[in-house]
Structure 1
Amino acid sequence: MASVAVRNLMRQSRPAAIAMVHVRPLPGTPNGSQSVKKITEIALQETDVYANACVDGIIVENMHDLPYLVGHNIGPEITASMATICSTVKSKFPEMPIGVQVLKAGNMRALAVANAAGCDFVRVECFTFAHVSDAGWVNATAGELHRYRKQIGAGNVSIFTDIKKKHSSHSVTADQSIKEAAEAAEFFQSDGVIVTGNKTGQAASVTELQDVCSKVNIPVLIGSGVTTENLESYMQANGLIVGSYFKRGGLWSNEICSAKVAAFMEKLIQLSS
């Protein structure tokens, strides 16, 4: 069962704006140079910017941990660091719905972090159907993930699942449309599906959004490429996950531009009235 925070998030009269907090490279990764304490301080500062702009929720993600390991190869130091960061952020912003994503396809680790930190949802890759990611082959994890959620008592942590995931080749499942992928995710008890473009910052297909919305009875979110300029095209979605656009120059690795966040929220509210 989804938490009250997530149910409210997905039942608004407008799409929920969910911002990305891309934590700095974690200890043990090739580009890691800062302590967990310092990384946490930066994550708190970024969350504060989003909270002041009245963004509806955030996702904490280790996107700076390039190049990524896949799934079970992700070290325990990443899980421990993410749990520390997410727990601190959640304690400072208890009313804000907070999600967790651990790259690459660290789905069980994200669920463990969210459960330990008191967070509300996870964003996971390769829930149904295997695919070739830019970090290698990734197997589907729905059965394993649901059983793990049951085992650790994380039933109130919602699982939002990417379909036809960006930064991936889907030639193996080329005979499956995105509508069929969404139906499969719903059948395997996803709490919501995420539609993206082909890479970070690339706009998702409006047609694909419409197709998916017509096929499933669970929340549908857009996971890349939403801007103030194209926002109106995605108002059918239940949620809009925004990362790159909120950064200076539209580059995910840059600092947050508070003016862009404020303008986005103003436009979103305007379109909803």
Structure 2
Amino acid sequence: MARVPAPLASFRKLFGVTRCAVIGMIHVQALPGSPLNASSINDIVADAVEQAHIYRDSEVDGVLVENMNDVPYTLRESPEVTASMVRICQSVRETVGPTLPCGVQILAAQNRAACAVAAASNFNFIRVEGFVFGHIADEGEVNACAGELLRYRKSLGSFAENVAIFCDIKKKHSAHAITGDVSIADTARNADLFMADGLIVTGNATGLEPSESDIEEVASAVPQQPLILGSGVTSDNVR
């Protein structure tokens, strides 16, 4: 039975668009506890707020906050990272106002923590790694999380029920040989079956654009799903 409303309809309602939405990335400075951390939490928050001001004034359709600079990433849950991201995301929300769609991703694959942070910060969506099918990432083995993540969101009730899940498929910076017999179209179909709210397609690494063939395969396989380009988008290749 089809979900009502379909994910694409929900996406368009959230972002207020009928075609494309532009989501600006807020890459926070290295957080407390990570090897590259060199700033106080107050300075880290101030930098994120400055980025949020730029996106707000540029009238983007949404923003996504990510701890990109916490390299090398770990799959271990880190309370200090979660706490820092709550403070950052709440400040971003205060900066952009109550209506701009906001999302959060916590690397690496800290999807439950991201869900909790989003709920606590009045954010609208999270970006999820490893939603369906396992893979080997540069930080280690990532197992599929759809079943656990959706049950976690459900367990939080009204606190998190409106947090949408946008998931990477055939994620960048990862080896997919173990699922080499599963096409990107089949991965997309399974993510849709497992109730993703949007699908993210990327190139092989940060800054690299997705292939047109991957985009076309996913769009054809699951036309009811929002298709989000998660890397390599520039003013030159958007059309």
TM-score w.r.t. the length of structure 2 is: 0.92
Which of residues 167, 174, 181 is equivalent to 1:168?
174
Name 1:249's counterpart in structure 2. Answer: none
Deviation at 1:11, TM superposition (A): 5.6
Aligned CA distance change for structure 1 residues 179 and 44 (closer, same or farther; 3 Å): same
TM-score w.r.t. the length of structure 1 is: 0.81
Q: Deviations over 1:48-78 (max 9, x none)?
A: 11111111111000000010001xx121000
Report which stretch shifted further, 84-93 or 155-164: 84-93
Q: Per the alignment, in what secondary structure is the counterpart of residue 30 of structure 1?
A: coil
Name 1:231's counterpart in structure 2. Answer: 238
In 2: Cα distance, 1:54 partner to 1:10 partner: 12
Q: Does 1:222 align with 2:239?
A: no
Contact 1:6 1:120 in 2 (8 A): no
Contact 1:131 1:173 in 2 (8 A): yes
Q: Does 1:65 align with 2:70?
A: yes
Which of residues 131, 134, 138 is equivalent to 2:138?
134
Deviation at 1:33, TM superposition (A): 1.8
In 1: Cα distance, 2:60 partner to 2:51 partner: 12
Q: Deviations over 1:155-210 (max 9, x none)?
A: 10000000000000000000000000000000000001000000000010112111
RMSD value over aligned CA atoms? 1.6
Contact 1:161 1:190 in 2 (8 A): yes
Uncovered stretches (5+) of structure 1, i.e. residues with no partner: 233-273
Which of residues 37, 40, 48 is equivalent to 1:35?
40
Which of residues 14, 18, 28 is equivalent to 1:13?
18
Q: Per the alignment, in what secondary structure is the counterpart of residue 206 of structure 2?
A: coil
Name 1:259's counterpart in structure 2. Answer: none
Greater length-normalized contact order (CA 8 Å, ≥ 6 residues apart): 1
In 2: Cα distance, 1:230 partner to 1:192 partner: 22
Amino acid at match of 2:116: A
* Matched ranges for 1:192-231 at <5 A: 192-216=198-222, 217-231=224-238
Name 2:122's counterpart in structure 1. Answer: 118
Uncovered stretches (5+) of structure 2, i.e. residues with no partner: none
Q: Per the alignment, in what secondary structure is the counterpart of residue 180 of structure 1?
A: helix
In 1: Cα distance, 2:150 partner to 2:220 partner: 25
Name 2:149's counterpart in structure 1. Answer: 145
Which of residues 180, 185, 190 is equivalent to 1:184?
190
Aligned CA distance change for structure 1 residues 223 and 128 (closer, same or farther; 3 Å): same
In 1: Cα distance, 2:72 partner to 2:23 partner: 25
Q: Does 1:100 align with 2:107?
A: no
Q: Count residues in correspondence.
A: 229
Identity in percent: 48
In 2: Cα distance, 1:200 partner to 1:33 partner: 23
* Matched ranges for 1:239-258 at <5 A: none
